[in-house]
């Protein structure tokens, strides 16, 4: 049975003929990808900021030059952008009180920023200088 599909604004409840169930493969967003009928190949790109060059990989079409990121590469690129913002002094900042309990210094984070931390188990702390630290909340 063929049906004419109306424009998006014209869809009515009676036009819905059932549910569609599908499963996305766990590797669906991993390269190589297909573009122009060919498999893409891994290529290296770079970003420069404040004299620092950071490289990352992309999947590039040999025919049209289109570039694709897989899920791992996209995560790394987001980290690179965050580092770039930090190096350029454009990162969001907040001032918090430094507390001391007699043994350890600690900083409290506002609850509205920590909602996703409930299932996290640890924090990775990287010392940049004796007064600057990078904190990553991890599983």
Decide if 96 contacts 108 (C-beta within 8 A): yes
User: Does 78 lie in the same domain as 98?
Assistant: no
Count up the domains in the chain and report the number. Answer: 2
Residue 83 is part of which domain span?
29-90
Cβ atoms of residues 121 and 138 within 8 Å: yes
pLDDT tens profile 45-70: 988 877 778 888 999 999 999 999 98
Q: Tell me whether residue 12 is in a domain.
A: no
Bridge-based pairing state of the strands 41-49 and 105-107: unpaired
Digit-coded pLDDT (tens) for 67-94 = 999 888 888 889 888 888 887 888 888 8
82 and 123 co-located in one domain: no
Mark whether 77 and 99 lie in a shared domain.
no
pLDDT digits (tens, 9 = 90+) for 4-42: 655 556 778 787 888 888 888 887 788 899 999 999 999
Q: Do residues 34 and 73 share a domain? A: yes
Closest-CA residue to 108 (of 135, 139, 138, 79): 135
């Amino acid at each position: 049975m063929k049906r004419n599909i109306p424009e998006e604004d014209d869809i009515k409840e009676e036009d819905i003929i059932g549910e569609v169930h599908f499963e996305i493969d766990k590797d669906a967003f991993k390269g190589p990808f297909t573009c122009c009928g060919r498999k893409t190949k891994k290529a290296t790109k770079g970003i420069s900021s404040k004299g620092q060059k950071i490289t990352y990989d992309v999947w590039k079409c040999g025919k049209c030059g289109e570039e694709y990121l897989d899920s791992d590469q996209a995560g790394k690129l987001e980290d690179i952008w965050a580092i770039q913002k930090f190096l350029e002094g454009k990162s969001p900042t907040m001032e918090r009180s430094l507390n001391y309990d007699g043994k350890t210094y600690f900083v409290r984070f506002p609850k509205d920023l920590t909602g996703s931390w409930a299932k996290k188990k640890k924090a990775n702390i990287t010392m940049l200088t004796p007064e600057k630290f990078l904190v990553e909340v991890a599983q």
